[in-house]
């Protein structure tokens, strides 16, 4: 009896492939670039399982070609690249990789907060360009972080981890969420408030919501108009949760002070994107969970979900 077939859409470690080979024959895209759509459409016809990244769209077109597919294991905490209802209608399990990336993503969110507030990358470019000629009282002066007010929009696992870090900086923590998080409140002193109150009071606003129909362009012209002129906006959720034209307007007209962005509506972001030209923007290439240890854990968890399903067991982290 032939083994099930697994297709992996990006080159992963030998250890992860070996895990999958305990239950299946494995093919993987050997390049560290997104698998071409045509190749994915071809491979899905024979696959019992597919290990995907955020760069792959698992949609009706793809699923219509999937004759044997039993599980889609997404190596990400998000899953906006997957048509989950369409998978479920076909009895295909969908899994993601929560928890294992929480701390790394929270680290990156706080790194962006610090780098943006204290103008770290701007000051680095200033020095390397040979513009530092003398000490000056307000040279590259930024915004204080210690003791400032932090507003977290989306108090999930990552939001709670960011709040724990903020508590170490003696920050006043406000959060906006669908549900109250009493344990996080007890640990960090965070307070649940309405979105408008959060935007009006926060010195730093960190956006951590998943991308849904309700959260698309959650941050738009009105929301930015509520923020302090000295406020910093940080996005480590998904690019489309923000109206980028409205953010650009807010930054160039002085409605807000600066922005730190790890995500964009179009990724990779075009080099001529207007936000990249602004000195008061710190931009990163979607590296929220990018530590070696975390990416290894994410890949292992995605593989473990596939092994479970192909072995007739329940997946570890089903949606």
Give pLDDT tens digits for 166-219: 999 999 999 999 999 999 999 999 999 999 999 999 999 999 999 999 999 999
Confidence bin at 78 (pLDDT 50/70/90): confident
Which two tokens mark 66?
A: 């999937």
**Active-site annotation holds for 267:** yes
- For residue 22, pLDDT beyond 80: yes
Cα separations in angstroms, 27 against 4, 206, 285, 318: 11, 39, 28, 23
Closest CA relative to residue 52, chosen from 249, 306, 296, 272 = 306
Torsion of CA 80, 33, 12, 91, to 10 degrees: 30
Q: Which of 118, 119, 238, 248 is catalytic?
A: 238
The owner of tokens 């990416």 is 295
pLDDT at 19: 98
5-100+292-310 topology per CATH: Rossmann fold (3.40.50)
Mean pLDDT over 43-48 rounds to 97
Confidence bin at 74 (pLDDT 50/70/90): very high
Q: Lowest mean pLDDT: which of 81-85, 188-192, 210-214, 270-274?
A: 210-214
Percent of the chain clearing pLDDT 70 (strictly above): 100
Q: Do domains 5-100+292-310 and 102-283 have the same CATH topology?
A: yes
Confidence bin at 2 (pLDDT 50/70/90): confident
* C-beta of residue 213 within 8 angstroms of C-beta of residue 240: no
Mean pLDDT over 223-237 rounds to 98
Confidence bin at 103 (pLDDT 50/70/90): very high
Torsion of CA 240, 241, 243, 247, to 10 degrees: -120
pLDDT at 32: 86
Closest CA relative to residue 238, chosen from 52, 81, 34 = 81
Which two tokens mark 42?
A: 């071809």
- Give the Cβ contact number of residue 270 at 10 Å: 10
Q: Which of 10, 118, 119, 286 is catalytic?
A: 286
- Give the Cβ contact number of residue 184 at 10 Å: 23
Mean pLDDT over 287-316 rounds to 97
- For residue 1, pLDDT beyond 80: no
Spatial separation of the C-alpha atoms in residues 118 and 128, rounded to whole Å: 17
Cα separations in angstroms, 2 against 19, 28, 48, 160: 18, 18, 12, 46
Domain boundaries along the sequence of the chain: 5-100+292-310, 102-283
Mean pLDDT over 36-57 rounds to 97
Q: For 138-169, write each residue's pLDDT tens digit.
A: 999 999 999 999 999 999 999 999 999 999 99
Q: How confident is the prediction for the chain on average, in pLDDT?
A: 97
Which two tokens mark 120?
A: 């770290």
- For residue 102, pLDDT beyond 80: yes
Spelled out in words, what is the top-level CATH class assigned to the domain 102-283? Answer: alpha beta
* C-beta of residue 317 within 8 angstroms of C-beta of residue 97: yes
- For residue 253, pLDDT beyond 80: yes
Closest CA relative to residue 109, chosen from 156, 141, 142, 74 = 156
Q: Which of 31, 45, 131, 267 is catalytic?
A: 267
């Amino acid at each position: 009896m032939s083994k099930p077939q697994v297709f992996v859409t990006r080159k992963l470690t030998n250890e992860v492939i070996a895990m999958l080979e305990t239950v299946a024959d494995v093919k993987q895209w050997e390049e560290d670039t997104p698998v071409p759509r045509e190749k994915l459409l071809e491979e899905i016809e024979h696959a019992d399982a597919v290990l995907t990244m955020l760069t792959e769209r698992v949609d009706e077109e793809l699923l219509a070609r999937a004759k044997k597919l039993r599980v889609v294991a997404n190596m990400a905490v998000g899953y906006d690249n997957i048509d989950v209802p369409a998978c479920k209608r076909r009895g295909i399990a969908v899994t993601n990789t929560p928890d294992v990336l929480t701390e790394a993503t929270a680290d990156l969110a706080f790194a962006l907060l610090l780098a943006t507030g204290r103008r770290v990358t701007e000051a680095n470019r200033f020095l390397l360009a040979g513009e530092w000629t003398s000490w000056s009282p307000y040279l590259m002066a930024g915004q204080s972080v210690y003791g400032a007010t932090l507003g977290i929009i989306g108090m999930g696992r990552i939001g709670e981890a960011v709040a724990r870090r903020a508590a170490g900086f003696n920050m006043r923590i406000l959060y906006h969420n669908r549900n109250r998080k009493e344990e996080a409140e007890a640990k960090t002193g965070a307070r649940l408030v309405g979105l408008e109150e959060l935007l009006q009071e926060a010195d730093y606003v960190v956006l951590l919501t998943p991308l849904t129909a309700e959260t698309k362009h959650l941050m738009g012209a009105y929301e930015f108009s509520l923020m302090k002129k000295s406020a910093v906006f940080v996005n480590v959720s998904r690019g489309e949760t923000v109206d980028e034209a409205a953010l650009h307007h807010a930054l160039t007209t002085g409605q807000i002070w600066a922005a730190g962005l790890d995500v964009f509506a179009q990724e990779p972001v075009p080099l001529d994107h207007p936000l990249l030209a602004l000195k008061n923007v710190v931009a990163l290439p979607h590296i929220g969970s990018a530590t070696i240890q975390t990416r290894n854990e994410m890949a292992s968890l995605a593989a473990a979900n596939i092994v479970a399903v192909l072995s007739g067991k329940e997946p570890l982290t089903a949606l």
